[in-house]
């Protein structure tokens, strides 16, 4: 069981980190304004030159291969519900790293997700 918890926490931390990096990268770019097909290629060039977006994409791809590894060892019915932990990590990282404010509803939702994961692990 410890291996399962380790791999799920590791996987969800990588996936949550990728989301934070993508958010930082897109914030650096500003809002996207695509009015026509001719705007797509210049936008793609700007996107692929942003180190935060590149790193976030690499982490996201890494999490995919890690997920394949996890699925090869554990039952999907057991591990997939625990991936909801990514919601908890994204909320915490957005608060502590990005300075985003969370409402009481966010805190309540994070508590519910955490409680759900605890119930899943409880035998």
Q: What angle do CA 28, 16, 12 make, to 5 degrees?
A: 165
* Per-residue pLDDT reduced to its tens digit, 78-114: 899 999 999 999 999 999 999 999 999 999 999 999 9
Which residues lie below 8 Å from residue 6, measured CB to CB, with a gap of 6+? none
For the chain, helix (H) and strand (E) counts, in that order, are: 6, 0
Give me the helices (H) in 30-103, please.
40-48, 51-73, 76-79, 85-96
Give pTM, 2 decimals: 0.86
* Domain range annotation of the chain: 2-121
**C-alpha distances in angstroms, 9 versus 83, 109, 116?**
8, 19, 15
Neighbours of 92 (CB within 10 A): 13
* Per-residue pLDDT reduced to its tens digit, 36-67: 787 778 778 888 899 999 999 999 999 999 99
């Amino acid at each position: 069981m410890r291996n399962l918890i380790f791999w799920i926490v590791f996987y969800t931390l990588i996936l949550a980190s990728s989301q934070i990096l993508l958010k930082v990268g897109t914030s650096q770019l500003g809002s996207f304004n695509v009015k026509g097909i001719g705007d797509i290629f210049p936008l793609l060039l700007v996107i692929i030159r942003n180190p935060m977006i590149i790193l976030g994409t690499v982490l996201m791809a890494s999490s995919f291969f890690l997920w394949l590894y996890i699925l090869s060892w554990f039952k999907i019915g057991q591990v997939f519900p625990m991936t909801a932990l990514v919601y908890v990590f994204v909320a915490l990282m957005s608060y502590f790293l990005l300075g985003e404010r969370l409402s009481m509803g966010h805190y309540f939702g994070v508590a519910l997700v955490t409680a759900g994961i605890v119930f899943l692990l409880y035998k």
